[in-house]
């Protein structure tokens, strides 16, 4: 067996949600660089989706921006139909859009009993229903072609124990449970469904902000919980994502892989 073949995506079309920046952008570029035949770049913000689609085209790979809210089923259905017409059947779905949705996390994350119940739905809208909508939209064609890879980016907040993130943790744990349910329903059709649980990523920032962030007491205190004492970078996640989107993981389904600098093992 040629090991390079195991990780080659063999011209298959991939869709990555929330791929306009951060982890999603890193995964989209990695899939494009590993033999994907086309990449659908979803993001809520058109400028971000278009910029990453352009980066992928510069690699010589077909790309299509898919602007829309993954939490809106009709937008997802329309986007998947348009992408399928342009690039072909989506064989790989990476559900990456998350956090607190297009506006990111709220500035304050209160203790659960102090949260406003009106705030809970923003976490489920993107982290749970976004994953359900996209998976539901792509699965019929995957079943028909008897092949598919679904990967969802969840969080150690939903896998281990973290304070002040209860609604987010619940929404991510639900997404991991959804992957297990989909794994069971689809295994006989050559489809796998897995999750990667990540921990704190380095926030996007300019060089001056980065220097201050790395020198801050808050960062140093946070890093005491990490075996590898730094925050994550998109390329730290992309390798495991490629593994789970490729033929190398044909016998792997319903699992949650921690890719987290040893965060959870250091608890
Ligand atoms: N950043 C972290 O420290 C961290 C930690 C654990 C888990 N995660 C998870 O990893 C994933 C990626 O995180 P990130 O920090 O790279 O993300 P990010 O917030 O930097 O980027 C996410 C992208 O998704 C888009 N997006 C948000 N809501 C959307 C929606 N409803 N529909 C379509 N697009 C939408 C945003 O516009 C943005 O461009 C998320 O699922 C997040 O929950 C992140």
Q: Give domain 3-262's CATH number out of 3.40.30.10, 3.50.50.60, 1.10.10.10, 3.40.50.720.
A: 3.40.50.720
Q: pTM score > 0.75 for this model?
A: yes
Q: How far is the CA of 1 from the centre of ligand 1 (A)?
A: 36
DSSP 146-182: T-EEEEEEEEGGGTS--TT-HHHHHHHHHHHHHHHHH
Q: How many CA atoms lie within 13 A of 257 on its CB side?
A: 20
pLDDT in tens, 66-115: 999 999 999 999 999 999 999 999 999 999 999 999 999 988 899 999 99
pLDDT in tens, 243-264: 999 999 999 999 999 999 999 8
Cβ contact 169:125 at 8 Å: no
Distance of CA 69 to the CA centre of its chain: 14
H/E stretch holding 46:
helix 46-58
Q: Residue 266 — pLDDT band, cuts 50, 70, 90?
A: low
Which ligand 1 atom is the nearest neighbour of the CA of 45? Answer: 37
**Does residue 222 carry a pLDDT above 70?**
yes
Establish whether residue 21 lines the binding site of ligand 1, counting it when its CB lies within 6 angstroms of any ligand atom: yes
The alpha carbon dihedral of 14, 15, 16, 20 has a sign of positive
Q: How far, in Å, CA of 260 to CA of 214, rounded?
A: 18
Establish whether residue 14 lines the binding site of ligand 1, counting it when its CB lies within 6 angstroms of any ligand atom: no
As annotated, the active-site residues are 168
pLDDT in tens, 179-211: 999 999 999 999 999 999 999 999 989 999 999
Residue 212, exposed/middle/buried by CB under 10 A (0-12, 13-18, 19+)?
exposed
At residue 116, the pLDDT reads 96
Establish whether residue 149 lines the binding site of ligand 1, counting it when its CB lies within 6 angstroms of any ligand atom: no
Alpha carbon nearest to ligand 1 atom 32, residue: 69
Backbone angles phi, psi at 16, to 5 degrees: -120, 125
Q: How far is the CA of 3 from the centre of ligand 1 (A)?
A: 32
Which ligand 1 atom is the nearest neighbour of the CA of 70? Answer: 32
Among residues 256, 199, 195, 204, the alpha carbon closest in space to that of 231 is found at 199
Establish whether residue 70 lines the binding site of ligand 1, counting it when its CB lies within 6 angstroms of any ligand atom: yes
Q: How far, in Å, CA of 162 to CA of 155, rounded?
A: 10
């Amino acid at each position: 067996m040629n090991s390079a073949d195991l990780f080659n995506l063999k011209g298959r079309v991939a869709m990555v949600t929330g791929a306009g920046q951060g982890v999603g952008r890193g995964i989209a570029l990695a899939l494009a660089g590993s033999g994907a035949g086309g990449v659908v770049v979803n993001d809520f913000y058109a400028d971000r989706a278009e910029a990453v689609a352009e980066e992928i085209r510069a690699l010589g790979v077909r790309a299509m921006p898919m602007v829309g809210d993954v939490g809106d089923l009709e937008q997802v259905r329309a986007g998947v139909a348009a992408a399928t017409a342009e690039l072909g059947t989506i064989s790989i779905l990476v559900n990456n859009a998350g956090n607190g949705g297009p506006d990111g996390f709220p500035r304050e994350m209160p203790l659960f009993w102090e949260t406003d119940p009106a705030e809970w739905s923003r976490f489920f809208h993107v982290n749970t229903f976004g994953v359900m909508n996209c998976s539901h939209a792509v699965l019929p064609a995957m079943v028909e072609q008897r092949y598919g890879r679904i990967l969802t980016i969840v969080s150690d907040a939903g896998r281990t124990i973290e304070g002040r993130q209860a609604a987010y943790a619940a929404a991510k744990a639900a997404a991991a449970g959804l992957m297990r349910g989909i794994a069971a329903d689809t295994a006989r059709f050559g489809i796998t469904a897995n999750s990667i649980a990540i921990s704190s990523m380095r926030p996007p920032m300019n060089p001056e902000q980065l220097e201050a962030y790395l020198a801050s007491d808050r960062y140093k205190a946070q890093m005491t919980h990490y075996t590898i004492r730094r925050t994550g970078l998109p390329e730290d996640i992309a390798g495991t994502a490629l593994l789970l989107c490729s033929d190398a993981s044909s016998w792997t389904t319903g699992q949650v892989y921690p890719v987290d600098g040893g965060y959870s093992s250091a608890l």
